[in-house]
Amino acid sequence: MIQAMFKSELAKLAGVSSRTFRRYLATRRAILTAMGVSPFARKLPPQAVHYISEDYCIDLPPCAIIKIFIKRIFFLAQAA
């Protein structure tokens, strides 16, 4: 699982400026809108982060994935 991330964080991971990253997202506006992402949103939901990281070949830090895994285990433990 992937966690929600700010657009600026993804831009840094991609190695581009925030403005360049916003331009890239503008080319994918229809897809992101279908996911429920507003063009003005600063934080992207996990499904959008996953799509963007796959489409733009952004390597997400392992700590982001580990945090989600830990939260999920904690949630499952509480539900049991």
pLDDT digits (tens, 9 = 90+) for 7-65: 999 999 999 999 999 999 999 999 999 999 999 999 999 899 989 998 998 888 776 55
Report the largest interatomic distance among the alpha carbons of the chain, rounded to a whole angstrom: 45
pLDDT attached to residue 80: 61
Distance CA 68, CA 11 (A): 21
Q: Are 8 and 18 in contact (CB under 8 A)?
A: yes
pLDDT bracket for residue 67 (50, 70, 90): low
Q: At 6, is the secondary structure helix, strand, or coil?
A: strand
Distance CA 80, CA 77 (A): 5
